[in-house]
Amino acid sequence: MYELSPPAIYAHESVMGEPRYRARAERVAAACRNHPQIVTFSDAEVPGLIDDREILKRRVAMGTLDHVEDPVLMFNTFRFDPEGVASAEVLGQRLAEMERGGGHVGEALSGRGAFRWHGYNQKGDCHGADKVCRPCWRIHLQQGCAHRCLYCGLGGLLVAMVNVEDYCRHLRGIIEAHPWQQTYLLDDDADPPCLEPELGVLGPLIEFFGTLRNRYLIIHTKTWNTEWLRGLKHNGNTIVVWSLSGRTQSELIEARAGTTGQRIEAARVAEAAGYPIRYKFKPILPVRSWREDAAEAVELALSRTHPDIISLCSFMWMDIDEMKSRLAGVADLLDPGFMEAAELAREEVRDTRTRPFPLQMRAGIYDHYLTEIRRHSAEVPVSLSTESFEMWKHFGEKLGMTATNYVCGCGPQCVPGATRLVDHPFRVAVRKPLDFPGATVAIGE
């Protein structure tokens, strides 16, 4: 696992009361450089941990902090029994009322959010025209990250769930009830390989998917840590997707993540062990050297590995002022032309998820990456990730795909080797009206 010195480690009483779960927490604690003692807590003590121990104090964009530490580690369990689910709901309401710890971290603190429905581009999705994505169930084991990327707000606290055996039993019910969903993305707000293999949770999940037919786990990561994957019985049913960035971004802005070369080497190790691999150049930050860095990263990735899909996504999700705040410490690294374009486009992009850069600037990034990719491979499918319908209309012909049939790194029908979707992703995705323990609805009905 990563070399960590967490300020504190907490474990829920349900973790410390079960020998298998306790051993997982203790292995991680023993592997930490500062060997902190594990503090046991109950649900009733969570508000006190927030108020008195300030476990959420540093859960802000890393680039806004004077000093960035490793996150506080917390071990918890998902509550699948009716009594546990009921108590978790009460705690979740209290967290929301406090207006801190709400959202996904609130779910993790209260043992909820194991499975989350995202009705992207369906009824109830207020960002439907502004973010092309596919409706699906997403699955979760962690909340938070140790990578310290300056633009990210997922540091400060990392909550890891340890009852993976129970988890897999309930996940089987989700899978069996939704035959149209063939892949399941794990943790879009965490990076689970950071604590492995000491935590010993990701391996059992991978081997669970290894027993299934035509159902795949997708692990989305920036990690360098894949050697431990070699001996697992995955049967090709786990796809590992790397968020890849150029040299400058990976080394100076994503400090604790793997560098460009380290991520590609980690992908090579995984591919050699039989895992399908993919890349997302995401988020692409326009640093001054972004064009040269892109050429280098693409050449290295395609000369050393064989991804079956590559996706592209520029830096987005915030306005220019927020971006400048998060990246103030590295402002001199950013391309002045892009920053000027973002300033001039304030009103144009104000109500979009794709801000701060206007369409023509983002399209220029995608054109450059596509040219570099095609320099090395004419066959690998290239798509856009979480981009707008407007960008798809502008760019789809160049990619040979549409907003409806494109394959991407983590789409629910994007199985290994797929080059186009067979079914309409917005029509076949039907959430069964069943009450799954631990399941929540993030977007849509």
State pTM to two decimals: 0.95
Give me the mean pLDDT over the 391-415 stretch. 95
What are the structure tokens assigned to 95, written together? 């967290």
Give residue 439's pLDDT: 76
Q: What is the rounded CA–CA span in Å between residue 16 and residue 9?
A: 12
* Contact between residue 78 and residue 167 where contact means Cβ atoms under 8 Å apart: yes
Write out the DSSP string of 246-272: -HHHHHHTBTTSPPHHHHHHHHHHHHH
| pLDDT exceeds 60 at position 418 | yes
What are the structure tokens assigned to 189, written together? 């707000």
Give residue 204's pLDDT: 98
Backbone φ, ψ for residue 106 (5° rounding): -65, -40
CA distances from 374 to 108, 384, 401 (A): 42, 15, 15
- Give pLDDT tens digits for 293-311: 999 999 999 999 999 999 9
Backbone φ, ψ for residue 421 (5° rounding): -75, 140
Give residue 206's pLDDT: 98
Nearest to 308 by CA among 259, 352, 357, 275: 275
Give residue 434's pLDDT: 65
Confidence of residue 120 (pLDDT cuts 50, 70, 90): confident
Give me the mean pLDDT over the 96-114 stretch. 79
Give me the mean pLDDT over the 90-115 stretch. 80
- Give pLDDT tens digits for 261-297: 999 999 999 999 999 999 999 999 999 999 999 999 9
CA distances from 257 to 152, 373, 445 (A): 12, 23, 36
Residue 176: count of CB within 10 angstroms of its CB: 10
Omega before residue 356 within 30° of 0, cis: yes
Give me the mean pLDDT over the 211-225 stretch. 98
Question: CATH top-level class for 9-443?
Answer: alpha beta
| pLDDT exceeds 60 at position 442 | yes
Q: Identify which has the larger pLDDT, 84 or 236.
A: 236
Domain regions of the chain by residue span: 9-443
Confidence of residue 109 (pLDDT cuts 50, 70, 90): very high
Give residue 191's pLDDT: 96
| pLDDT exceeds 70 at position 99 | no
Q: What is the rounded CA–CA span in Å between residue 244 and residue 345?
A: 27
What amino acid occupies position 350? R
Give me the mean pLDDT over the 125-149 stretch. 90
Give residue 306's pLDDT: 98
Q: Which residues contact 337 (CB under 8 A, 6 or more apart)?
A: none
CA angle 355, 108, 176 (to 5 degrees): 90
Give residue 443's pLDDT: 65
Give me the mean pLDDT over the 180-193 stretch. 95
Give me the mean pLDDT over the 4-13 stretch. 98
What are the structure tokens assigned to 160, written together? 């890891």
| pLDDT exceeds 70 at position 102 | no
- Buried/exposed code over 39-67 (b: 16+ C-beta within 10 A; e: otherwise): ebbebebbbebbeebebbebbebbbbeee
Confidence of residue 119 (pLDDT cuts 50, 70, 90): confident
